[in-house]
Amino acid sequence: MAKGELGIVEKGKNDLQTLADSSAQKCIIAALTKCYPKATIIGEEGQLALDDVPEEWTDISPNDEILKRTCPKDLETVKEEDITIWVDPLDGTKEYTEGLVGHVTVLIGMAVGDNAVGGIIHQPFVDCNGTKGRTIWGMKGVGLGGFDVRQPDPSKFILTTSRSHSNEQVEKALKILNPDEVIRVGGAGYKALLLLEGRAHAYVFPTPGTKRWDTCAPEAVLNAVGGILTDSKGQLYSYDRKTDVNNRGGVLAAYTKEYHDRCLAAFNQ
Ligand code: AMP
Ligand code: MG
Ligand code: MG
């Protein structure tokens, strides 16, 4: 971005990649592979050669805060080879190319078998107490760090959806839900943060388009505080390494089951 040249390539219709996407993925995958050689790591940008990744990019220091927590019983026996890590090196690329850098997140989701169990949502461009960027992590049975969650206003019903990939089906669903307000922003990660910040009650995108790397980390972070992310019929996605990467049933997420149920009931009707 500082160079004034983002290196934009069109991967498909309405689907962009920049040098930042491939560079961030190389950094994340090289570092994780060094630490967890037996885990399966799947990145949005596919298999990229890692031979030009600088050594200092792969130094990971452990997060002291999370190491002080107790590992949930059901995860104590997990082996490295049972883990699948879903990496979206830059979520909200469309917005990034338009200079809307506040919508950009980096998503790293960890699955054990079918289930999303841990997630990181990093906001690289947000100013946070004088430092650039903040990192939010969440794990079911452990909690959430790096962020103060807030309840949404119970007297309102605010929805968040895509800014750049909406369609007739999404608009119809939004109408059925009859919200007080619709916040249209980029990225699945940023929309999950709007739920955690109490700025929206539900994330509604009932159409294909997002992929497993968009939802694994948000689902795990939401789960850490009792939130929920499913397809638009209420079915959980599998994050197993062999799964189809496309979230064909769309996305329905909420900070509480109550708001999730409210959307499902309206759709069923
Ligand atoms: P959005 O809410 O539109 O920012 O989308 C969230 C994530 O899903 C981003 O990584 C988008 O690139 C991806 N996505 C959503 N819809 C589509 C689509 N129709 N084609 C390609 N990617 C999509
Ligand atoms: Mg994405
Ligand atoms: Mg991406």
Closest C-alpha residue for ligand 1 atom 15: 209
Write down the residue that tokens 């999950």 correspond to: 192
Rounded to two decimals, the pTM is 0.97
Neighbours of ion ligand 2 (CB under 5 A): 88, 91, 214
Name the residue of 97, 165, 203 whose CB sits within 8 Å of the most ligand 1 atoms, as the mutation to test its pocket: 165
Each of the 269 residues of the chain gets a pLDDT tens digit; together they read: 888 899 999 988 888 889 999 999 999 999 999 999 999 999 999 999 999 999 999 988 877 888 889 999 999 999 999 999 999 999 999 999 999 999 999 999 999 999 999 999 999 999 888 888 999 999 989 999 999 999 999 999 999 999 999 999 999 999 999 999 999 999 999 999 999 999 999 999 999 999 999 999 999 999 999 999 999 999 999 999 999 999 999 999 999 999 999 999 999 88
Ligand 1 pocket, residue 253 CB under 6 Å: no
8 A C-beta contact, residue 63 and residue 137: yes
Ligand 1 pocket, residue 165 CB under 6 Å: yes
Helix, strand or coil for residue 138? strand
Contacts of 168 (CB under 8 A, 6+ apart): none
153 is catalytic: no
Residue 42 is inside which H or E element, if any? strand 40-43
Rounded distance between C-alpha atoms, residue 6 and residue 78, angstroms:
40
CA of 256 relative to ligand 2 center, distance in Å: 23
Report the amino acid identity of residue 4.
G
93 is catalytic: yes
CA of 16 relative to ligand 2 center, distance in Å: 10
Taking the CA of residue 205 as reference, the ligand 1 atom at the shortest distance is 2
